[in-house]
Amino acid sequence: MQCRLYLITPPSLDLDSFPDLLDKTLAAGDVACLQLRLKQADETPVADALILQAAETLLPIAHKHDVSLLLNDRPDLALTAGVDGVHIGQDDTPYAEARQILGQDAIIGVTCHDSRHLAMVAGEEGADYVAFGAFFPTSTKTSSTQATPELLTWWQETTELPCVAIGGITTENAPTLVKAGADFLAVSGGVWGYAHGAEEAVRAFNTLFVSTDES
């Protein structure tokens, strides 16, 4: 399976201008899913009402481009907003509770840091994907773990369950993770902060997915 782009929103966004930017960005190339991840500067969550307003605004844009919309952290709000699923970390709602809230059809992904054990547990519980990271330095999130590409290769040799790589991923360092076996690359700053704009970033990631797959 060719690696695909998993887009994460900027931690804060302007709902006047961001919808148009998102529409153009998703139109620029293949994006598997979008995660709505709103955080205060200190990484604490923002108010529920703001999350729901953002989800309501972004959902039709994501679906216009056949992109699944996942909500970060909150399966309860994901249910209310009617999005396609949730991403939960080790300090968020436990997987079993998230699945009970959202049902079997929802997409539920789990943060596994650099841990084979956490990934095996999440897979056995029924997660739809596991996420490893951070792979590279990032200013988007204070990450206490450092994952290595060998973890992706091990996962590919171990199971069919998809794995997502995250953390400081750019078009420059992405090929290493693609070659190692990442099914998805989760990217925030590498797209929204790309020097030539977010649309060009989506094009550049998709070009490298094809070229790396053929190499």
Ligand X SMILES: Cc1ncsc1CCOP(=O)(O)O
Distance of CA 11 to the CA centre of its chain: 13
Q: With respect to ligand X, which residue has the nearer C-beta, 59 or 201?
A: 201
Q: With respect to ligand X, which residue has the nearer C-beta, 7 or 98?
A: 7
Choices 24-32, 56-64, 121-129, 188-196; region in contact with ligand X by CB under 6 A: 188-196
Residue 45: partners with Cβ closer than 8 Å, 6 or more residues away = 38, 39, 51, 73, 74
- Do 105 and 154 touch, CB atoms closer than 8 A? no
- Which of 92, 98, 166, 198 contacts Mg ion by CB under 5 A? 92
Is 171 marked within a binding site? no
Q: Of these partners, Mg ion, ligand LCLJCK34, ligand X, none, which one is at the site of residue 164 (CB under 5 to 8 Å by kind)?
A: ligand LCLJCK34
Q: How far is the CB of 214 from ligand X (least distance, A)?
A: 25
Please state, in angstroms and rounded to a whole number, the distance separating the CA atoms of residues 58 and 18: 9
- Which of 19, 45, 89, 175 contacts Mg ion by CB under 5 A? 89
Which backbone phi and psi does 196 adopt, to 5 degrees?
A: -100, 15
Q: Which amino acid is at 145?
A: T
- Which of 3, 25, 73, 130 contacts Mg ion by CB under 5 A? 73
Choices 57-65, 76-84, 164-172, 201-209; region in contact with ligand X by CB under 6 A: 164-172
Please state, in angstroms and rounded to a whole number, the distance separating the CA atoms of residues 148 and 173: 12
Q: Which of residues 32-51 bind ligand LCLJCK34 (CB under 6 A)?
A: 35, 37, 43
Is 74 marked within a binding site? no
Tell me the two tokens of residue 84: 């396609």
Q: Which amino acid is at 71?
A: L
- In sequence order, what DSSP letters do the residues of 171-190 get, joined into one string? TTTHHHHHHHT-SEEEESHH
- Identify the H or E element spanning 50: helix 48-64
Please state, in angstroms and rounded to a whole number, the distance separating the CA atoms of residues 106 and 104: 6
Taken as a whole, the chain contains a residue count of 215
Q: How far is the CB of 195 from Mg ion (least distance, A)?
A: 29
Residues lying near ligand X in the complex (CB under 6 A) are found at 8, 133-134, 138, 140-141, 143, 166-169, 187-190
Q: Which residues are annotated as a binding site?
A: 35-39, 72-73, 92, 111, 138-141, 168
Residues lying near ligand LCLJCK34 in the complex (CB under 6 A) are found at 35, 37, 43, 72-73, 87, 89, 92, 109, 111, 131, 133, 141, 164, 166, 186
